[in-house]
């Protein structure tokens, strides 16, 4: 369950005509990744983003997805011979950003650790 503390806006402000919603979260102790949506009352136009916390300290926030970790995509099939690659080519350079251990960064993006409200 997500505590009330994590329902705050990233910068502490909300326009008078705006709606701010928490759409979900991922938690791997002590890290919490919160997913949000911010828009007009009609909610026709809205922005999405993420906030990363360690305990109750905000590490960073972003409109869109934080560069925390993104799994590498498999190369498309080709008629040409495959290039030589190593295991190091499969590791995303963003792992470990914000002081988050690589295993935790991967776990925060794992669907098993994510809860959506909408």
**What residues make up the domain containing 75?**
4-116
Can you spell out the DSSP letters for 89-118?
GGS-TTTTGGG--HHHHHHHT-GGGEEE--
Return d(Cα 34, Cα 13) in angstroms, integer.
17
Number of domains in the chain: 1
> What's the pLDDT at 99?
84
> What's the pLDDT at 78?
59
Could you tell me the pTM of the whole model?
0.78
Strand order across the beta sheet in which 57-63 lies: 57-63, 46-54, 31-40, 18-28, 114-116
DSSP state of 87: G
Q: What is the pLDDT along the chain (118 residues), one digit of tens a residue?
A: 899 999 988 888 877 778 889 999 999 989 999 999 988 777 677 889 999 999 999 999 988 888 877 666 666 665 665 566 665 665 666 667 788 888 888 899 889 999 999 7
């Amino acid at each position: 369950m997500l505590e009330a503390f994590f329902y705050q806006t990233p910068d502490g402000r909300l326009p008078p005509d705006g709606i701010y919603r928490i759409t979900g979260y991922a938690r791997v102790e002590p890290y919490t990744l919160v997913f949000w949506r911010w828009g007009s009352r009609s909610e026709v136009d809205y922005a999405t983003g993420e906030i990363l916390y360690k305990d109750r300290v905000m590490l960073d926030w972003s409109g869109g997805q934080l560069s925390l970790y993104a799994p590498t995509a498999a190369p498309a099939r080709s008629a040409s011979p495959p290039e030589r690659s190593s295991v190091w080519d499969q590791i995303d350079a963003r792992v470990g950003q914000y002081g988050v251990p690589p295993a935790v960064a991967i776990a925060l993006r794992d669907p098993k650790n994510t809860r959506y409200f909408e």
